[in-house]
Chains A and B, each alone.
Chain A
């Protein structure tokens, strides 16, 4: 497979998918069944508990948020995917120009590196368990963990980068094989945790003391926090914002024979972002009840205790080991590895797009190095709830450009796919419409402390409106008259 064709699905990269290559709904259900049960789930689940989400809010909030995500895939992505049958990148190239798509791809690649970094941390946390290497999270965002853990991150990062440099196929096959097993391990972890907390009767389950007790412990050590119903709904809805609002899954659904394929992400959402998140959260609750010394770390030097001595830290490796032993450790390592690997691989491709004279392997190693450095800062994985929202805020708005271009440009008397028709390398209307709301969103997130997932939809809408207005100002009258003719 050439470097060029391997970038986005391999086939029909620059042409509409022909009728002969369309796939039935079953293929999409099968594909999504193995998606979204990844290494990130081991981090995100415990973070809900650590953030103080109540059990009823979590159960209902995730239900509603995941339903909204599925509806967004079905009604936002699928109609455009089936009408155009093009990849996200090719559609963007026709609208925004090749130069701007490269820039978008590099931004995407950098975000992928940070995501991969979090997965390197997750994998290292599991590898460290048999060696007795502790995982502690410093209070300073740019602080390192202890030297042993940092060295372990370096080793794990280098191994992952080398494997990624060899291509994604082998890892993708391992991920394919591991997916059903991983889902079984997540489910087993949750059930074992409930039994460990003696929540194995209807009365204990409905009373929910196993959950509220764990939250009380977390808050006693880490201070008061709250993570309410709507925060959970919005997070569950938009944590994959880049895939649905951002239209990345156009590349998948361009193969859909029927619109009903758009319901297929439901299986991935409810296995990965419902069952797996809740199971992973139960792991932390069980550890806090049975062996709190393994979950409560001394506060880093120079910091003061907020409440009771120590701070609660979700160490995915320790959590899984405590619940399912070596099978749990293997699951965390494989889940982290199979998530980090394609992430680093795609980031390498994005960087190579800017420096085509460099080999893909070299660029993958660069991406791997960035990911490894990022992974050495444990706060990145500890702040995964915020990072995932930021990821959607930055990449999601490009989906608004595609939405407006598809539905509104001709209605307002303007030319769609303007870069393709005008020969521009970068459509300035897209550039400003994308960067302006994203810059404001990032300011609100990082300077004003806005919960990152809240920024996704406002940025998306603003980007769409700006794109429409700016196109009116920047499209040449000659091009517009072609539409009105």
Chain B
């Protein structure tokens, strides 16, 4: 189950990061980029909590800028 979730996370992260390169290259339109990024975002937040249950980092309550 966890390995499937990891693969889904990887694919969904790709949906966020890769279509913009196709848009940059002129292969797809901006609307396709926006909708795939949204689909990737939803998929990422559904699949990643299944496997990313790592221990909180030692500075999890620290403030970052």
Footprint of B on A, CB under 8 Å? 6-11, 23, 31, 34-36, 38, 40, 112, 115, 168-169, 172-173, 175-178, 180-181, 184-185, 187-188, 191-192, 194-196, 200, 239-240, 243, 248-249, 251-252, 255, 324-328, 330-331, 339, 342-343, 345-346, 388, 391
Contacts of B33 in A (CB 8 A): 188, 192, 324-325
Query: How many residues of chain B have a CB within 8 Å of chain A?
Result: 34
Q: How long is the Cα–Cα vector from A388 to B64 in the complex, in angstroms?
A: 11
The answer to whether A252 touches B58, judged by C-beta atoms less than 8 angstroms apart, is yes
Q: How long is the Cα–Cα vector from A259 to B9 in the complex, in angstroms?
A: 33
Q: In chain A, what residue has the closest Cβ to B51?
A: A177
Secondary structure at chain B's binding surface: helix, strand, loop or mixed?
helix
Instruction: Give the shortest distance, in Å, between B14 (CB) and chain A (any CB).
Output: 9
Whether B52 is near chain A, meaning CB under 8 Å from some CB there, is yes
With A40-B65, A188-B17, A342-B62 in contact, is A173–B56 under 8 Å at CB?
yes
Instruction: Give the shortest distance, in Å, between B47 (CB) and chain A (any CB).
Output: 10
Q: How long is the Cα–Cα vector from A185 to B62 in the complex, in angstroms?
A: 23
Interface residues as binary, B40-52 with A (CB distance below 8 Å gives 1, 0 otherwise): 1100110011001
The answer to whether B38 touches A327, judged by C-beta atoms less than 8 angstroms apart, is yes
Contacts of A23 in B (CB 8 A): 58
Q: In chain B, what residue has the closest Cβ to A167?
A: B61
Contacts of A249 in B (CB 8 A): 59
24 of the cross-chain contacts (CB-CB < 8 Å) are: A7-B61, A11-B58, A31-B58, A35-B64, A172-B56, A172-B60, A177-B48, A178-B45, A185-B16, A188-B16, A188-B17, A188-B20, A191-B21, A200-B24, A200-B26, A243-B65, A251-B59, A252-B58, A326-B41, A328-B37, A330-B41, A339-B63, A342-B63, A346-B63
Contacts of A185 in B (CB 8 A): 16, 37, 41
Contacts of A31 in B (CB 8 A): 57-59
Please pick, from B17, B34, B60, the residue contacting A325 in the complex, using a CB distance under 8 A: B34
Q: How long is the Cα–Cα vector from A181 to B48 in the complex, in angstroms?
A: 10
Q: In chain A, what residue has the closest Cβ to B35?
A: A325
Instruction: Give the shortest distance, in Å, between B6 (CB) and chain A (any CB).
Output: 12
Instruction: Give the shortest distance, in Å, between B44 (CB) and chain A (any CB).
Output: 5
Please pick, from B23, B37, B49, B61, the residue contacting A6 in the complex, using a CB distance under 8 A: B61
Please pick, from A115, A168, A192, A330, the residue contacting B61 in the complex, using a CB distance under 8 A: A168
Contacts of B35 in A (CB 8 A): 325
Contacts of A391 in B (CB 8 A): 65
Contacts of B17 in A (CB 8 A): 184, 187-188
Most B CB atoms within 10 A — which of A40, A168, A185?
Answer: A185
The answer to whether B30 touches A192, judged by C-beta atoms less than 8 angstroms apart, is yes
Contacts of B49 in A (CB 8 A): 173, 177
Contacts of B59 in A (CB 8 A): 9, 31, 249, 251-252
Whether B8 is near chain A, meaning CB under 8 Å from some CB there, is no
Contacts of A188 in B (CB 8 A): 16-17, 19-20, 33, 37
With A172-B56, A176-B52 in contact, is A325–B37 under 8 Å at CB?
yes
The answer to whether B34 touches A324, judged by C-beta atoms less than 8 angstroms apart, is yes
Contacts of A195 in B (CB 8 A): 20, 23-24, 26
A-B residue pairs, 6 tightest by C-beta:
A325-B34, A327-B37, A172-B60, A184-B17, A188-B20, A191-B20
With A196-B30, A324-B33 in contact, is A184–B65 under 8 Å at CB?
no
Whether B13 is near chain A, meaning CB under 8 Å from some CB there, is yes
Q: How long is the Cα–Cα vector from A345 to B60 in the complex, in angstroms?
A: 11
The answer to whether B16 touches A327, judged by C-beta atoms less than 8 angstroms apart, is yes
Q: How long is the Cα–Cα vector from A259 to B26 in the complex, in angstroms?
A: 46
With A169-B56, A177-B45, A325-B37 in contact, is A342–B61 under 8 Å at CB?
yes
The answer to whether A176 touches B37, judged by C-beta atoms less than 8 angstroms apart, is no
